[in-house]
């Protein structure tokens, strides 16, 4: 199993450009998440999803959009990139509360995004 796969690994955007960060998981997990991690800081939840067709806002949703059309995929869209969105973005998935061995978050390898 590949686990959680994120693309791209690195990206530089100009202010006002748009892009989509891709995330896919092959563990048949119901729950998926997007976090951002600013330098020297902890992770902040942007959006999460409890299943296909269901998404909800986290701590810092402004400037982002998500969709969940399938169990496997959870893309994150930045519409009008701003310098404040320079960060490392992590996608994660979990099997859910009631799955004894899958309580933990499985993280992707991250996308380093710079907005200049």
Partner 1 sequence: GENVEQHPSTLSVQEGDSAVIKCTYSDSASNYFPWYKQELGKRPQLIIDIRSNVGEKKDQRIAVTLNKTAKHFSLHITETQPEDSAVYFCAAGVHVQGAQKLVFGQGTRLTINP
Q: Which residues bind partner 1 (CB under 8 A)?
A: 30-31, 33, 40-45, 48-50, 54, 56, 58-59, 90, 94, 96-98, 103-105, 107-110
CB-nearer residue toward partner 1: 22 or 30 = 30
Least CB distance to partner 1 at residue 17 (A): 26
Q: From the CB of residue 35, how many other CB atoms can be counted at a distance below 10 Å? A: 24
Least CB distance to partner 1 at residue 42 (A): 3
Q: Is the peptide bond before 79 cis (omega within 30 degrees of 0)?
A: no
Residue 24 β-bridge partners: 5, 73
Helix boundaries (H) for 51-111:
none
CB-nearer residue toward partner 1: 10 or 79 = 10
CB-nearer residue toward partner 1: 85 or 94 = 94
Could you tell me the two tokens for 95? Answer: 């099997």
Least CB distance to partner 1 at residue 116 (A): 21
Within 13 Å of residue 100, how many CA atoms lie on the same side as its CB?
0
């Amino acid at each position: 199993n590949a686990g959680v796969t994120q693309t791209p690994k690195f990206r530089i955007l100009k202010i006002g450009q748009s892009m989509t960060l891709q995330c896919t998981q092959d563990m048949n997990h119901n729950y998926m998440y997007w976090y951002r991690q600013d330098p020297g800081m902890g992770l902040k939840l942007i959006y999460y999803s409890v299943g296909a067709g269901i998404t909800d806002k986290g701590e810092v949703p402004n400037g982002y959009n998500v969709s969940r059309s399938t169990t496997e995929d959870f893309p994150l869209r930045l519409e009008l990139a701003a310098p404040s969105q320079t960060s490392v973005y992590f996608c994660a998935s979990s099997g859910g509360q009631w799955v004894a061995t899958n309580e933990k978050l499985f993280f992707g390898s991250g996308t380093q995004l710079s907005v200049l």
